Structure 1
Amino acid sequence: MFKGTPKIVAQRREEIVNACEQLYQTMNFKDITLKEIGKVTSFSRPTIYNYFQTKEEIFLALYEREYSRWNAELKRILDSEEPCTREQLAQKIARSLESRAQLLKLLAMNNYDMEENSRAEMLADFKRAYGASLKLFRSILEKYCPEMSEEAVAHTMYVFFPFMFGIYPYTSVTDKQKTAMEEAEVDYQYQSIYELTYHCLTKLLEV
């Protein structure tokens, strides 16, 4: 790790993660290399190794940031003083994910390989952001659905969070995939992130 001031370290790390995020808009994970990321930063590729040892660590940092951004959305839902029915809660959570397409795209990746190729301390940072999401989601259920049992709350959480891994592939379909579905005569009704999430939550919350 580069021995600079905390401010410089944070700025350099942020620039590297931003570069990765920029490339991820138009490139696949497998095509993004440290060399490609270095081209988008203001410093040389070897400098990246002062902050991240692997490409997976950079993506994990991006992943952590995306969870933190979603956590801010969940915190706003939790802190709201407005009355909220279960249906309205399903709508709010669905809207919170509607703007988090990048988080859902990352969730659709092979997380096992990403975590396996990252150092323990960076994996722990990521898990803290993920754990915060679990805690906020639980607190939201306990606040707006006080009649739910502990078992029901746990069931809802551990169905919904794994469900999130499949949202992106079902809602972000390429023209090539659509053509293949048509040729295979698969009658599939495409839905948006909001629609798929909302329908899942209304079932889980028994709206």
Structure 2
Amino acid sequence: MTVLPRRDWRQERRQKILAAAAELFGANPYDSVQMRDVAARAEVGKPTLYRYFPSKEELFLEVFKSGLDRLDSEVAAILKDREQPARSLERLLEALLNALGGQVAALRMLTDDQSPVMRRWRNEFRRRRRPFVEAARTILEQGIASGEFRPVDLETVPSMLIGIVRGGLVGTDRVPRERFAAAMIDLVVHALSARTQKAAHAA
């Protein structure tokens, strides 16, 4: 007789809360999201919500960490697939945008740049950003080796790409994320293209 694994209802409930919080933080400024809103969206009582997450700050940061965990998996898949470097780079930038987009939207309206939640968000991102920088470097190296990308400074450009994503999200709050993504990817891939460099030299 086949024995089915026991469902971990606590973990399922936790994930449901995180999904509800991610939706709310992705669509609203941090200060306007209330724990009662998250509880209602997740269909749990406030006491239950506080048993899992003792404060809004902790909940927000756990949403971010979960997003970075998913980003880790996406980056690993991108590198494993070994598509054309330009396509791999597009996928990497899209994954970063999806992971950071809702978080930056929520934080953008905070007036105190040194608020505890802002500091903790930045520290968490700094702690976790190295694999994304290394993935960008690997893709750039592959593109340069294949002749698809022109030679660039591999010590600085990978970090710059991460900064473009984060800085662009902060500076384009009235532009739909899909439009920003398309413009940013077009700019980056065009700037790196060896064909663009050859055309410039020919001119």
Q: TM-score, normalised by structure 2?
A: 0.64
Q: Could you tell me how far apart the structure 2 residues matched to 1:54 and 1:130 are?
A: 25
Residues 104 and 168, structure 1, Cα contact 8 Å, conserved in 2: yes
| Offset, 1:71 | 3.5
| Offset, 1:142 | 3.5
Q: Could you tell me how far apart the structure 2 residues matched to 1:45 and 1:71 are?
A: 31
Residues 27 and 102, structure 2, Cα contact 8 Å, conserved in 1: no
Structure 2 residue matching 1:165: 3-state secondary structure: helix
| Offset, 1:204 | 5.6
Paired-residue identity, %? 18
| Offset, 1:25 | 4.8
How many residues matched? 177
| Offset, 1:155 | 0.4
Task: Give 1:195's aligned residue.
Answer: 183
Q: Which runs of 5+ in 1 are unaligned?
A: 176-190
C-alpha change, 1:74 and 1:31, in structure 2 (3 Å) is same
| Offset, 1:172 | 4.8
C-alpha change, 1:26 and 1:104, in structure 2 (3 Å) is closer
Q: Could you tell me how far apart the structure 2 residues matched to 1:114 and 1:205 are?
A: 39
Task: Give 1:145's aligned residue.
Answer: 144
Q: TM-score, normalised by structure 1?
A: 0.63
Residues 35 and 45, structure 1, Cα contact 8 Å, conserved in 2: yes
Q: Could you tell me how far apart the structure 2 residues matched to 1:114 and 1:38 are?
A: 20
C-alpha change, 1:140 and 1:174, in structure 2 (3 Å) is closer
Partner letter of residue 132 of structure 1? P
| Offset, 1:136 | 2.7
C-alpha change, 1:115 and 1:6, in structure 2 (3 Å) is farther
Q: Could you tell me how far apart the structure 1 residues matched to 2:127 and 2:8 are?
A: 22
User: More helix by proportion, 1 or 2?
Assistant: 2
| Offset, 1:115 | 5.5
Tell whether 2:117 aligns with 1:114. yes
| Offset, 1:31 | 0.8
| Offset, 1:107 | 3.2
Task: Give 1:76's aligned residue.
Answer: 77
Instruction: Write the deviation string for residues 84-106 of structure 1: whole angstroms up to 9, x where unpaired.
Output: 35x555544445456x2x62231
Q: Could you tell me how far apart the structure 2 residues matched to 1:80 and 1:18 are?
A: 28
Tell whether 2:133 aligns with 1:134. yes
Q: Which runs of 5+ in 2 are unaligned?
A: 1-5, 197-203
Partner letter of residue 43 of structure 2? S
Instruction: Write the deviation string for residues 36-83 of structure 1: whole angstroms up to 9, x where unpaired.
Output: 21122232212222222221222222222333333444333312244x
Structure 2 residue matching 1:153: 3-state secondary structure: coil
C-alpha change, 1:194 and 1:43, in structure 2 (3 Å) is same
